[in-house]
Each structure stands twice: as C-alpha cells, then as structure tokens.
C-alpha cells in the first residue's frame, strides 16, 4: 500500500471541531450563518481530500463487510487523540508509529467465531502517514503506540513538568 499523508485531513478536522464548538456557543444569527457556511466548506474540502484514504479503506473492507468498519474521520480522530495525549512537538514525534484498532473490545467466551475489524498503522515522519490498512482479528487494546527514543524523552520531560 502506498503511504497516505493525512496531515491536511487532521488540520481540516480540527478546524471543523472548532467551528462546531463555536456554533454551540454562539447565539447571534449573522455569525451562525457565517460559521455554517465555513463548516459546509470545510466538510466539502475534507471529503475531497480524503478520497485516496476512503478508496484504500474500501479496497480492504470490500463489499461484504458490514460491521466493525472505519472511515476517514475515524482515522483522523484517532490520530488527533494520539497527538493530544502525547502533547509533544512534531520534531520529537519523528519515528513514532501506532497501530490502531478503532473497534477494539473484549468478547465473552460464549461468542462464537473470531470477529474481525478494520485496523490501520500510521507512522510519523514529517507528518502522519497511513502505512497499512487491514482487516484482522479484534484486539482488546485500541492503540499500540511505539515511541521513538526522542519521543520517549520528550514525553517524559513533559510528564515531569506537569508533576
């Protein structure tokens, strides 16, 4: 699979979330209309920019998959959550990889069969790149994060400054 750069999608999704928050806080009609127009424009840009990612997901899931699927927004939201969780600079994140099972869950022993979910792997070089999308057995952990040495040091320094 060819690497897919999702940095622009992350920026668009972050802007979309900010506008949705502003819409909830704003009660003036003239401002709401402007924000709604911006929101529609951002969503259209997101749909256009995510075509390659959506095509890659569709190729993996195929027409028969109906449960534990993901879409471009799920991938972007997971990467935003990882960025927020780590709280380190982009320079320090270089070399970090993450394997994400967006639908991770524990199944009871009485469950027959081995459920599968669509999962992805992303790597941060200069930005987040999706390196693999696959269908595999559901895991219990949503994120499997592998930090580079510089990311570990930056994360520990950030944690020490909070203490």
Asked whether residue 26 carries a pLDDT value surpassing 80, the answer given is no
Q: Which residues of 74-86 are buried (b: 16+ CB within 10 A; e: fewer)?
A: bbbbbbbebbeeb
Mean pLDDT for 47-75 is: 95
Please state the pTM of the whole predicted model.
0.91
Q: State yes or no: pLDDT of 163 exceeds 70.
A: no
Q: Is the pLDDT of residue 71 over 70?
A: yes
What is the DSSP secondary structure assignment for residue 105, as one 8-state letter? -
Per residue, the 3-state secondary structure of 33-63, as one string, reads HHHHHHHHHHHHHHHHHCHHHHHHHHHHHCC
Buried b (16+ CB within 10 A) or exposed e, 132-143: ebeeeebbeeee
Percent of the chain beyond pLDDT 90? 74
Q: Where are the domains of the chain?
A: 4-162
Question: Could you report the per-residue pLDDT of 103-145, keeping only the tens digit for each?
Answer: 998 888 787 777 899 999 999 999 999 999 999 999 999 999 9
Encoding tokens for residue 80? 């935003």
Whether the pLDDT of residue 27 is over 90: the answer is no
């Amino acid at each position: 699979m060819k690497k897919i750069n999702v940095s622009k999608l992350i920026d668009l999704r972050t802007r979309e979330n900010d506008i949705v928050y502003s819409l909830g806080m704003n009660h003036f009609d003239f401002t709401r209309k402007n924000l709604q127009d911006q929101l529609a424009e951002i969503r259209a840009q997101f749909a256009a920019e995510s075509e390659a990612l959506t095509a890659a997901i569709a190729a993996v899931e195929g027409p028969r998959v109906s449960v534990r699927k993901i879409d471009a927004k799920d991938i972007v939201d997971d990467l935003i959550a990882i960025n927020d969780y780590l709280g380190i600079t982009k320079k320090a994140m270089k070399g970090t990889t993450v394997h994400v099972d967006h639908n991770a869950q524990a199944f009871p022993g009485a469950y027959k069969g081995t459920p599968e979910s669509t999962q992805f792997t992303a790597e941060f070089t200069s930005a987040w790149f999706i390196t693999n999308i696959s269908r595999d057995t559901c895991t219990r952990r949503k994120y499997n994060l592998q930090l580079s040495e510089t990311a570990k040091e930056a994360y520990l320094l950030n944690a020490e400054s909070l203490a």
